[in-house]
Chains A and B, each alone.
Chain A
Amino acid sequence: MPAEPPIDTPRHLFEAYDRLAAGSTRPIAGGTDIMVGITGELGPVPERMLDLSRIDALRGISLEADGLVLGARTTYTEIRTSALCREHLPALGEAAATIGAAQIQNRGTLGGNIANASPAGDTLPVLLAADATILVGGQRGEREIKAVDFFVAYRKTALAPDELILQVKFPLPPGRELRFRKVGTRRAQAISKVVVALAWQDGPKGWSDVRVALGSVAATPIRAAATEAVLQGARPTPEVVDRAAETLAAELKPIDDVRSTAEYRRAVSARVLHRLLRDAGGW
């Protein structure tokens, strides 16, 4: 059972910023991680809570000149059902569909997945592969942080204690392809063993802007630089695909834990990438 620290429910961002600036305050949105995490068994209980559920400025999905913008409080269900997401970023909807089941998808939010910063956060490799930018704000003002710079260590982010995640912006370069695949013990209600997201743009000189992002194989969601280098400027021919998968297996340094083993994660990551590349190559 969670502890019951006092909680404030502001309606406006500036009130939320005031509370955060006062210190020792933990924001809560959908609560799917926090309600389980603040029982006292997993570390100290926050002194105060900050309920984000009434702040409308954190909601909404919109198509803007520089990309698709999702408010931090966008739920997985909203991502799955949004016509804009389906048209412009279907891989994010695929990721959202693999998280928990209806009960979790109706409550859990994109901003929460980012703030929780689990290495197994299912949307996070999509953010890395799509080169998303996270807009954060606080009393000191707003700033943008690239998703690739956001996850700095195990469950540590670039977000300061007095800042909130406001929006996530996904650039939509023409011709960019994005694929997602999660491997868990079962289809629903499973924390991932391996998550792979792959992005590329095809051009006359082969693939460019290749991003290979993975979850559950390191202390943070990561990109696989050596594997990306194999694919950059190439095309998914059998020789290239084999080499990319071998490079990924050599590049990853996963660990054994309760959900899987290092060896399984390394092998399956390589196989999943191989499959995504084979499908991209149409063979």
Chain B
Amino acid sequence: MTAYRFLVNGAPAEVDVPGMRRLLDVLREDLALTGTKEGCGEGECGACSVLLDGQVVDACLVPICQVDGRIVRTVEGLSLAARERGALDALQEAFLDHGAAQCGICTPGMLMAARAYLDAGGGPDDRAIREAIAGNLCRCTGYTKIVDAIASVAHADG
């Protein structure tokens, strides 16, 4: 086993685990960050979406050895600045305002995919938002409110 070091939500993390362990398992089991959910475990559903060096990825498909030296952001650290003042990220507020969650298992992944989209300069265009979250399945099929919530933040940003 090798020690792997990386940043999670701004804080240094070090784990001594097999290099092929999934980032998803390291986050949930080794670092107790259970906000990231496991859905399908095979890159179909996006429930485990996190940001790796700012890009949205499925944490179930990333071996931890490839995370060494890199920057991970999970739903727990969606907005570090907001968290420090006891507030939520603008996307989380918008999801609450729009009722953009039903059972909730897709929500952390939806938030991360949406954050990557907005951070890359994405706007309120409906088609572009739907493409940005095309890798995130909501089995309650409540997409409309999710898209509306993301668009409202894009509007506010724009």
Chain A interface residues toward B at CB < 8 A:
1-7, 9, 28, 30-32, 35-36, 49, 51, 53, 77, 100-104, 106-107, 187-189
Determine which of A3, A5, A100 lies in contact with B43 in the assembled complex, contact meaning CB atoms within 8 Å.
Answer: A100
B55 to chain A, nearest CB (A): 4
Give 20 new A-B contacts, CB below 8 A, not counting A7-B20, A35-B63, A103-B49: A1-B41, A2-B20, A2-B63, A7-B65, A28-B63, A35-B42, A36-B43, A49-B19, A51-B63, A51-B66, A101-B134, A101-B135, A102-B113, A103-B43, A103-B46, A103-B58, A104-B61, A106-B55, A107-B62, A187-B134
Count of CB-CB pairs between chains A and B under 8 Å: 96
**B91 at interface by CB-CB < 8 Å:** no
* CB–CB A51/B25 < 8 A: no
A–B pairs, 21, beta carbons within 8 Å: A1-B22, A4-B18, A6-B18, A6-B20, A7-B18, A28-B63, A32-B61, A35-B43, A35-B62, A35-B63, A49-B19, A49-B63, A53-B66, A100-B43, A101-B134, A103-B43, A103-B135, A106-B55, A188-B131, A189-B134, A189-B135
In angstroms, Cα B39 to Cα A211, docked, is 41
B61 in complex: contacting residue of A7, A49, A102, A107, CB < 8 Å:
A107
Identify A104's interface contact among B18, B21, B43, CB under 8 A: B43
CB of A154, distance to nearest CB on chain B (Å): 21
Verify B65–A104 contact, CB threshold 8 A.
no
Contact B56 A36, beta carbon cutoff 8 Å? no
Chain A residue numbers with a CB within 8 Å of B132 are 102
CB distance from A235 to the nearest CB of B (A): 36
Q: Is B57 an interface residue (CB 8 A)?
A: yes
| Assembled-state Cα–Cα distance A279/B25 (Å) | 49
Nearest opposing residue in chain A for B18, CB measure: A4
Task: Give chain B nearest CB distance to A38 CB in angstroms.
Answer: 8
Q: Which of B19, B41, B42, B116 contacts A9 (CB 8 A)?
A: B19
The interface residues of chain A lying within 8 Å CB-to-CB of B42 are 35-36
The one of A3, A35, A106, A189 in contact with B44, judged by C-beta atoms closer than 8 angstroms, is A189
Could you tell me the distance between the alpha carbons of A103 and B46 in the complex, rounded to whole angstroms? 8
With a cutoff of 8 Å between Cβ atoms, the chain A residues found around residue B134 in the complex are 101-102, 187-189
Chain B proximity of A234: nearest CB distance (Å): 38
Interface centre among A3, A5, A77, A101 (most CB of B within 10 A): A101
A244 to B143, CA, bound (A): 42
- Residue in contact with A102 in the complex, picked from B60, B63, B116, CB distance below 8 Å: B116
Chain B residues whose C-beta falls within 8 Å of the C-beta of A107 in the assembled complex: 57-58, 61-62
Residues of B within 8 A of A30 (CB): 61
B18 touches A31 (CB 8 A): no
Whether B20 lies near A3 (C-beta < 8 A) is yes
**0/1 string, B51-77, CB within 8 A of A gives 1:** 010011110111101101000000000
